[in-house]
A = this chain, B = another copy of it.
Amino acid sequence: MDTIFFDKKPRIRATGTIAGPKECAGIVGKYVDKCLTDDTFGESTYEKAECKMLSYAVSKTIENAKLSEKDVDLLISGDLLNQIISASFTARDFDFPFLGVYGACSTMAESMALAATFVNAGHYKNIIAATGSHFSSAERQYRYPLELGNTRPPQSQWTVTGAGGALISYTGGGNEKKFCPAITCATIGKVVDYGITDVNNMGAAMAPSGMSTILNHLQDTGRKAAYYDLIVTGDLGALGSRILKDLLWEKGVDIQPNHVDCGEIIYNVIEDEFQGGSGAGCSAVVFNSYIMDKLKKREINRVLLVATGALLSTVSSGQGESIPCISHAVAIENV
C-alpha cells in the first residue's frame, strides 16, 4: 500500500501566497495575500526574487496563523532551481529546522505529506510546507536565456511566478476543527516514465504518473473518484489534463466531472502560455489561495491534490534520457 493515513487529523491552519502580475490577472488574483506589480520583487536577479517570494509566503503563513516564528517547529520546502537554493536561502532567514525536498512540481504535495506525517506522529506541532517558482529563473535554467527571444512551441506551458505555504498543525479539535481542513491521507508516488523526450511537452510526460498515483490512491482507500468534490492536479496544463482523463477513462475511472488542473485554470487569457501554467509554484499558489478559500468556506469539502512533477534535468535530457515523472497525492477534507 502506497497510501498513509493520518488518524490524528493534522490540519491546515493557515496558508500564505504571493504571485506575479501575469498570474494575478487570472483566477488567483483576488485570493493571494500579495500581488506583485514587478516580477523582480525589487531584487537584482530573478533567483533572488524567487527566494524572496518563498520567504514572503513562509512569513505570511506564520502571520495568517496568528503565530510567531518561535512557534514553528520545522520548514519543509524545495523548488526547481539547482540545489533548491530558493528553499535553502529561505530557510536561512528563519530560526527553525529545515528539511529540503525535491519533487519538481510535485513539491507542494510532497512537503504537505511529510509535514502531515511528522505532525500526526506527534513529533512536531507546527510545520510549514512551502514551495514556489519563477518564470524567468526557470526559463534561463531549463531552457534558454530570455534575451534570446526564442519562440515557444504550442505544447509548452508557462512557469508560474509565485509561491505558497501551508501551516500544518496538530490542533486537537476545538475551534480550529470548524475552520481548518484536515489532511486525512497521502499517497506517495512511484516514478513513471512513458518514454516522452520532448522537454516542451511536460503535460504528456507527467500525465501517466498522475494516473498511476490516482489509481493507487483510489485502490488503497477504496474510494471512487466521485468521493472527491475536486481532484486537483498540479500543472498538467490543458493537453496533459486531457491525456490524464483519457488514460484514467481507459482504466474505468472517470474524473471528468470533478477534475481541475491548476495549470489549466491559473491564466485567464491564454497567449504565450499555450497549455497553461506549470512549475512548483503553480499548485502552491492555486491550492493555497483559491482552493483553500473554497474549502474554508465549505463550498467544497473533499479535495484530492495530486501535484505532478517531471524529474528531468538539462543534463539528463542532453544525454538522451526520457523524462521520468512522479505525482504525490494528498487528501484534504473538512472532517
Chain A residues in the interface with B (C-beta under 8 A): 2, 4, 44-45, 47-48, 73-74, 78, 80-85, 88-89, 91-92, 95-104, 110, 114, 117-118, 120-121, 123-124, 141, 188-191, 193, 311-316, 319, 321, 324, 326
Among B73, B102, B110, B118, point to the contact of A83 (Cβ < 8 A).
B102
Oligomeric state, in number of copies?
2
Q: Which residues of B contact A101 (CB under 8 A)?
A: 99-102
Would A311 and B102 count as touching, CB distance under 8 A? Answer: no
Nearest 3 interchain pairs by C-beta: A88-B311, A83-B313, A97-B188
A/B interface sample: 27 pairs, CB < 8 A: A2-B97, A4-B121, A44-B319, A45-B319, A80-B83, A83-B104, A83-B311, A84-B102, A85-B321, A88-B311, A88-B324, A88-B326, A89-B324, A91-B190, A91-B324, A92-B193, A95-B190, A96-B190, A98-B188, A98-B189, A98-B190, A99-B103, A100-B101, A100-B102, A100-B110, A101-B102, A102-B102
Q: Which residues of B contact A191 (CB under 8 A)?
A: 88, 91-92, 98
9 more A-B contacts (CB under 8 A) besides A98-B188, A98-B190, A120-B121?
Answer: A4-B121, A48-B319, A80-B83, A81-B315, A83-B104, A83-B316, A91-B191, A95-B190, A98-B326
Closest Cβ–Cβ distance, residue A312 to chain B (whole Å): 7
Q: Which residues of B contact A80 (CB under 8 A)?
A: 83
Would B312 and A83 count as touching, CB distance under 8 A? Answer: yes
User: Complex: how many Å from CA A45 to CA B318?
Assistant: 11
User: Complex: how many Å from CA A97 to CA B120?
Assistant: 20
Q: Which residues of B contact A189 (CB under 8 A)?
A: 97-98
Would B193 and A74 count as touching, CB distance under 8 A? Answer: no
Closest Cβ–Cβ distance, residue A8 to chain B (whole Å): 10
Q: Which residues of B contact A312 (CB under 8 A)?
A: 83, 85
Closest Cβ–Cβ distance, residue A218 to chain B (whole Å): 16
Q: Which residues of B contact A120 (CB under 8 A)?
A: 121
Would A99 and B82 count as touching, CB distance under 8 A? Answer: no
Q: Which residues of B contact A98 (CB under 8 A)?
A: 188-191, 326
- Nearest residue (CB) in B for A101 is B101
Closest Cβ–Cβ distance, residue A129 to chain B (whole Å): 13
- Nearest residue (CB) in B for A141 is B315
Q: A102-B101, A319-B45, A319-B47 are in contact. Are A313 and B82 (CB under 8 A)?
A: yes
- Nearest residue (CB) in B for A321 is B89
